[in-house]
C-alpha cells in the first residue's frame, strides 16, 4: 500500500495519539484526523481501521498495538511506550518509491536550480544503503548540460522574484560588446536548448534605449549578471499572447500573422501530424479549393499555419530538407 501525503498525515496523527498515556479510541482518532485536515474531507471508520492494519504490517511500520476496552470502547496504545513511527525505518514499499523518485531526480541535471538535488542524492542513498545499486536508464530528457549561459539562470531568476533590475555585458555574434545597466528581466524562455531573457533596457541609463521588448541569449552574456538594488520596471506584457503566432523567440516589430500554406510529402506527414510545426497547424482536406492554380504533388498533404514569419520558422521548415514547401500565403485579416 503506497503512502501518499494524506495517508502519511493520518499515520502521524495516529502515532501522536496512541503515544499518550491514555491512548486513543477510533472516535478520537477520526476527530483528530478531521481537525488536522481542516474540514477538507471527512474520514470514514473503515479508513482508520485500514490505517491501523497497515501500520501493523511489514509493509508499514511493524507497529505492535496494545488494545484495552474502556467504557465499552477499544483504546489503542503502543506496546512499547517509547515507540514512534517517526523513529522507525521506512518500509520496503516506501523505500522502493523513494528509490524510483531519486532515479528520476538524477536525470534532472545541468540546470543550476537543481544542483542541490545532485548534492543531496548521494547522502540519501547512503542512508538507504543503496550506494552500489546499479540502474539502467529509464527516462532521458533532451538537454545540453554543456551549453553556455546556464549559470546565469539563477541570478536572473532571483532578480525576477525580488522584482529587481540587473546589469550585464552582452555581445552578439559578430558584434560589439554592450552594457545593459538596470535591465528589467521579465521572462526566461528556453527554445531549442538555448535560454533567453526577455525584458526592458533602462530608460535612464541606456542611451540607446528602445521602448520595445528585447530578448538576450544567455550564452552571449559576458561575465557575471549583477542584481541591482533598483526595482525593475513593471511587466505589462501577456507573454502567452505575445508568443501566440511565432515559432521560437523572435517576434519582428509590427509584424502581423499570415496564413501560410505548405505542402508536406507523404513520408514526412506522419511526423508533422503527431508533432505539429505550430499549434495553429490545420490539415486541409480539399487542397484544390485553396490552390486550384498550383496543385500540390500527388500524395502530398496541404497544411496551413497562422504565424508571423521569423528566422526560427524558416530554419524549422528548412530542417526537413525540402520535404515541406511553401505553396502560397495570404493575410489572416481577411
Shared domain for 215 and 202, answered yes or no, is yes
Task: Check pLDDT > 70 for residue 166.
Answer: yes
Higher pLDDT, 136 or 25: 25
Task: Check pLDDT > 70 for residue 34.
Answer: yes
Task: Check pLDDT > 90 for residue 43.
Answer: no
* Domains identified in the chain, total number: 4
pLDDT for the residue numbered 89: 65
Shared domain for 96 and 83, answered yes or no, is no
In a domain, 245, yes or no: no
Task: Check pLDDT > 80 for residue 93.
Answer: no
In a domain, 283, yes or no: yes
Classify the C-alpha dihedral 105-106-110-115 as positive or negative.
Answer: positive
Task: Check pLDDT > 80 for residue 198.
Answer: yes
Per DSSP, which regions of 163-220 are E strands? 164-171, 177-191, 194-200, 214-217
> Across all residues in the chain, what is the average pLDDT?
82
Inter-residue contact 218 to 196 (CB < 8 Å)? yes
In a domain, 166, yes or no: yes
Instruction: Tell which residue, 28, 31, 37, 35, has the closest CA to residue 8.
Output: 37
Query: 99 is in which domain, residue-wise?
Result: 90-141
Q: Give the CATH number, domain containing residue 281.
A: 3.30.70
In a domain, 150, yes or no: no
pLDDT for the residue numbered 61: 83
Shared domain for 39 and 55, answered yes or no, is yes
- Split at pLDDT 50, 70, 90, the class of 269 is very high
Residue pLDDT, tens place only, 214-262: 999 999 999 999 999 999 999 888 999 999 999 999 999 889 999 999 9
For residue 40, report the phi and psi dihedrals to the nearest 5 degrees: -70, -30
CA–CA distance, 132 with 327 (Å, rounded to integer) = 58
In a domain, 270, yes or no: yes
pLDDT for the residue numbered 1: 45
- Split at pLDDT 50, 70, 90, the class of 131 is very low
In a domain, 172, yes or no: yes
Task: Check pLDDT > 70 for residue 55.
Answer: yes
Amino acid at each position: 500500500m503506497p503512502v501518499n501525503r494524506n495517508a502519511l498525515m493520518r499515520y502521524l496523527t495516529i502515532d501522536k495519539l496512541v503515544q499518550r498515556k491514555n491512548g486513543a479510541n477510533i472516535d478520537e482518532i477520526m476527530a483528530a484526523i478531521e481537525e488536522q485536515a481542516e474540514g477538507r474531507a471527512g474520514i470514514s471508520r473503515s479508513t482508520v481501521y485500514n490505517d491501523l492494519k497497515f501500520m501493523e504490517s511489514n509493509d508499514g511500520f511493524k507497529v505492535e498495538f496494545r488494545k484495552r476496552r474502556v467504557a465499552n470502547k477499544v483504546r489503542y496504545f503502543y506496546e512499547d511506550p517509547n515507540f514512534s513511527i517517526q523513529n522507525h525505518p521506512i518500509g520496503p514499499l516506501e523505500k522502493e518509491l523513494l528509490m524510483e523518485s531519486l532515479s528520476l531526480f538524477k536525470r534532472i541535471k545541468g540546470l543550476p536550480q537543481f544542483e542541490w538535488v545532485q548534492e543531496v542524492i548521494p547522502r540519501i542513498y547512503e542512508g538507504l544503503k543503496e550506494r552500489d545499486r546499479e540502474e539502467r536508464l529509464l527516462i532521458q530528457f533532451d538537454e545540453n548540460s554543456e551549453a553556455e549561459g546556464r549559470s546565469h539562470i539563477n541570478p536572473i531568476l532571483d532578480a525576477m522574484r525580488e522584482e529587481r533590475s540587473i546589469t550585464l555585458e552582452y555581445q552578439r555574434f559578430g558584434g560589439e560588446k554592450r552594457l545593459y545597466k538596470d535591465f528589467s528581466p521579465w521572462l526566461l524562455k528556453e527554445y531549442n536548448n538555448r535560454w533567453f531573457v526577455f525584458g526592458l533596457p533602462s530608460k535612464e541609463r541606456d542611451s540607446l534605449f528602445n521602448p520595445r521588448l528585447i530578448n538576450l541569449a544567455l550564452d552571449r552574456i559576458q561575465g557575471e549578471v549583477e542584481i541591482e538594488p533598483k526595482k525593475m520596471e513593471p511587466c505589462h506584457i501577456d507573454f502567452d499572447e505575445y508568443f501566440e503566432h511565432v515559432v521560437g523567440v523572435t517576434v519582428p516589430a509590427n509584424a502581423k500573422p499570415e496564413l501560410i500554406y505548405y505542402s508536406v510529402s507523404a513520408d514526412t506527414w506522419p511526423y508533422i501530424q503527431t508533432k505539429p510545426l505550430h499549434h495553429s497547424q490545420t490539415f486541409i482536406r480539399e487542397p484544390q479549393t485553396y490552390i486550384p492554380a498550383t496543385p500540390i504533388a500527388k500524395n502530398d498533404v496541404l497544411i496551413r499555419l497562422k504565424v508571423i514569419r521569423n528566422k526560427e520558422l524558416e530554419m524549422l521548415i528548412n530542417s526537413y530538407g525540402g520535404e515541406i514547401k511553401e505553396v502560397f500565403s495570404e493575410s489572416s485579416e481577411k
